[in-house]
Chains A and B, each alone.
Chain A
Amino acid sequence: MTQSALTPAGQPRSGGWFHYLANPGRFQRVARPTLPWLVAFSLLLTVTGIVWGYWFAPADWQQGDASRIMYVHVPAAWVAMAGYASLAFCSFLSLVWRHPLADIAAEEISPVGAGFTAVCLVSGSLWGKPMWGAYWVWDARLTSVLILFFLYLGHIALIRAFDNKAHAYRAAAILALAGAVNLPIIVYSVQWWNTLHQGNTISLTGPSKIYVTMLYPLLIASVGFYLTFVTLVVARMSAAISERKITALLRAAAERAS
């Protein structure tokens, strides 16, 4: 255990390994060699999942080829929700321990998460038209995902609305944590309300209602989308840390010169 993870008396700090991992310099040392591998695996799995779903997966007996939209819509929806959960987690770390890396992570997660949520909404809308006869209905699942999109946009806007970055991160972290209540609403909306959106097809606790020839491409695309999300966030965080270091170095040089 490193010195920073210990109290002056040599006792482990509360959340010591968070302190160890939350060092921007240490993050850069881990992120730079990891990024090429993340890029390779996310590209391989995402392309495989998309190509398999579009060309090779069987058409659904009831929905026909429209079911192919599932291979982009469902992974995007899962990543949108997991992204928001990670945003709420970083916001919690930011509020409790004031880790700058948690603030950077939260700032870089929200645009990527908003993008995946937009993909989920657009692909869902394009799936809804041939199946339901409408691009949009004010169904509980659709509406709660739209609220998730607005929460992401609110987080992005709030961070940029303050001149004082510390105030911005604090306000945005409170918004992100309060908005986390929307996640169980999204997940259980199809059980709590009578929705046009179908119920859960894949279950972690019970048997899935999908055949393996459709399950495999869906899982591969999902892992690919998750890895793409992680890759984009890690690259953005690494760039943000470098940009802060550039600003600090230039400021120090200007102060030395004056």
Chain B
Amino acid sequence: MNPAAIQPIDVWPFVNGAYAATVLFLAGAAWLTFARYRRARARLAQVEQV
């Protein structure tokens, strides 16, 4: 087979996809976790005053 005939695959869509999935998970998990944390602390402070 002529090596020049082999078309190299464009790997960047796969790299971008892997990084996008990771960043989305990390950002989403952090946002959800700290929203819950802040909500729980605010609610506890409110209930402790009552």
Contacts and interface: CB of A to CB of B under 8 A. Distances in A.
> Do the two chains bind?
yes
Interface of A: 35, 46, 50, 54, 64-66, 68-69, 72-73, 76, 112, 115-116, 118-119, 122-123, 126-127, 129-130, 228, 232, 235-236, 238-240, 242-243, 245-246, 249-250, 253
A123 B21 contact: yes
Contacts of A249: 47-48
Interface of A is mostly: helix
Interface string B21-34: 11101100110011
A246 B40 CA distance: 8
A64 B11 contact: yes
Contact of A242 (B12, B17, B25, B43): B43
A252 to B, nearest CB: 10
A239 B40 contact: yes
Contact of A50 (B14, B23, B41, B50): B23
B22 to A, nearest CB: 4
30 contacts: A50-B23, A64-B8, A65-B15, A66-B11, A66-B14, A66-B15, A68-B15, A69-B14, A69-B15, A115-B25, A119-B22, A122-B17, A123-B18, A123-B21, A123-B22, A127-B18, A129-B14, A130-B9, A228-B26, A232-B33, A235-B34, A235-B37, A236-B33, A238-B40, A239-B36, A242-B41, A243-B40, A246-B44, A249-B47, A253-B50
Contacts, number: 87
Given A65-B11, A66-B11, A239 B22 contact: no
Contacts of A228: 26, 30
Contacts of B29: 112, 115, 232
A35 B41 CA distance: 13
A238 B37 contact: yes
A238 B47 CA distance: 16
B37 A72 contact: no
B48 to A, nearest CB: 7
Pick the 6 closest A-B CB pairs, nearest first.
A242-B40, A123-B18, A66-B11, A239-B40, A72-B22, A69-B18
Nearest to A46: B26
Given A112-B29, A126-B14, A228-B30, 20 more contacts: A35-B37, A46-B26, A54-B15, A54-B19, A64-B8, A68-B15, A68-B19, A69-B14, A72-B18, A72-B22, A73-B18, A122-B21, A127-B14, A232-B29, A232-B33, A235-B34, A236-B33, A238-B40, A239-B33, A246-B47
